[in-house]
């Protein structure tokens, strides 16, 4: 099984990367990545942007469409967690938009705090152990919790760092942050980008362009992903019928909810519930 097939099957892949493993041709994916560099140095090209890695640096990147190795030292060693976009979106639902935005604007960070570095490595180790253990019924959920904890740890630290700097925020930054906050509040009732654009007093096209620039995703993709992630959680933990969920999420009927869910996940809501219980 190739690493791409493994990610598509499980939603994630965790691995140790050494110098020779990076000496490969460019790859094209649509995965998210979080990387902890333990030793050595490397220069990578991700989505046409160059990033520098050195010991105790952490890379967090959303939607890697293109990756290539520019240079890597002979003693390079890093732990890498790759996730498909659905897995990553599910895990990041509810994380404040400011946190996510700060990570997007600064994908590589040096971890100076010993406790923070130890926490990140411990969470990676727990993900690795969960990947190995059997039975595997709740492996995805347990890995998702650790990844989510890593995001909170990194995002909180990044936000504190950003606040200590003098930084000029653009209108695009403000629109993106406000859009994500509006989604948190209104995603159950409003499923169309036009509503959020109207609240922000901009056009849907401009909002989508801002989202693409700031996150790599169009506004509709973000909205749909957050919506389906919330529905998934309610299906798993609420015990409510599909009819009730359709009403609460403002779908015309149960069939409309089913069509949306199947389009986003490839399976019906009932099949998803059965799979998780």
**Pair (83, 128) in one structural domain:** yes
Residue-averaged pLDDT of the chain: 83
Q: At 11, which CATH number?
A: 2.60.120.280
Confidence of residue 24 (pLDDT cuts 50, 70, 90): very low
pLDDT tens digits for range 204-251: 999 999 988 877 788 998 899 889 888 988 888 788 999 999 999 999
The count of C-alpha atoms lying within 13 angstroms of the C-alpha of 155, restricted to the half-sphere facing its C-beta, is 17
- Looking up residue 248, the CATH number of its domain turns out to be 1.10.10.60
Calpha distance 6→11 (Å, rounded):
8
pLDDT by residue (tens digit) across 98-128? 666 666 667 888 999 999 999 999 999 999 9
Same domain, 148 and 32: yes
Q: Over range 250-265, report the average pLDDT.
A: 94
Question: What string of DSSP letters covers 49-96?
Answer: EEEEE-TTEEEEEEEE--EEEEEE-TT-EEEEEEE-HHHHHHHHTTS-
Name every residue whose Cβ is closer than 8 Å to that of residue 91 and which is 6 or more positions away in sequence: 83, 144, 147, 148, 151
Question: Residue 196 CB: number of other CB atoms within 10 A?
Answer: 24
Q: Distance (Å, rounded) from C-alpha 48 to C-alpha 67?
A: 8
- 140/130 Cα distance (integer angstroms): 9
| Separation CA 90–CA 225 (nearest Å) | 8
pLDDT (0 to 100) of residue 33: 87
* The total number of structural domains that make up the chain: 2
Q: pTM for this structure? A: 0.63
Name the β-bridge partners of 36: 58, 79
Same domain, 7 and 24: yes
């Amino acid at each position: 099984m190739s690493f791409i097939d493994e990610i598509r099957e499980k939603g994630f892949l965790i691995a140790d990367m050494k110098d020779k493993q990076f000496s490969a041709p460019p790859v094209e994916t649509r995965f998210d990545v979080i990387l902890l560099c333990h030793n050595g140095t490397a220069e990578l090209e991700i989505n046409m942007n160059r990033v520098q890695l050195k010991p105790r640096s952490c890379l967090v990147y959303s939607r890697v469409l293109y990756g290539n190795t520019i240079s890597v030292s002979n003693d390079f060693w890093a732990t890498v967690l790759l996730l498909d976009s659905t897995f990553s979106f599910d895990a990041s639902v509810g994380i404040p938009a400011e946190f996510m935005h700060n990570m997007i604007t600064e994908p590589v960070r040096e971890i100076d705090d010993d406790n923070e570095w130890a926490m990140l490595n411990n969470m990676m180790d727990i993900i690795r152990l969960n990947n190995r253990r059997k039975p595997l019924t709740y492996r995805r959920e347990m890995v998702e919790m650790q990844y989510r904890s890593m995001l909170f740890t990194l995002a909180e630290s990044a936000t504190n760092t950003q606040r200590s700097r003098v930084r000029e925020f653009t209108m695009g930054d403000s629109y993106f942050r406000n859009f994500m906050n509006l989604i948190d509040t209104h995603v159950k009732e409003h499923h169309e980008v036009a509503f959020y654009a109207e609240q922000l007093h901009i056009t849907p096209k401009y909002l989508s362009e801002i989202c693409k620039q700031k996150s790599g995703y169009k506004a509709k993709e973000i909205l749909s992903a957050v919506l389906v992630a919330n529905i998934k959680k309610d299906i798993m933990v609420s015990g409510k019928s599909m009819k009730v969920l359709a009403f609460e999420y403002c779908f015309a009927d149960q069939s409309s909810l089913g069509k949306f869910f199947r389009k986003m996940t490839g399976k019906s809501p009932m099949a998803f519930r059965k799979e998780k219980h």
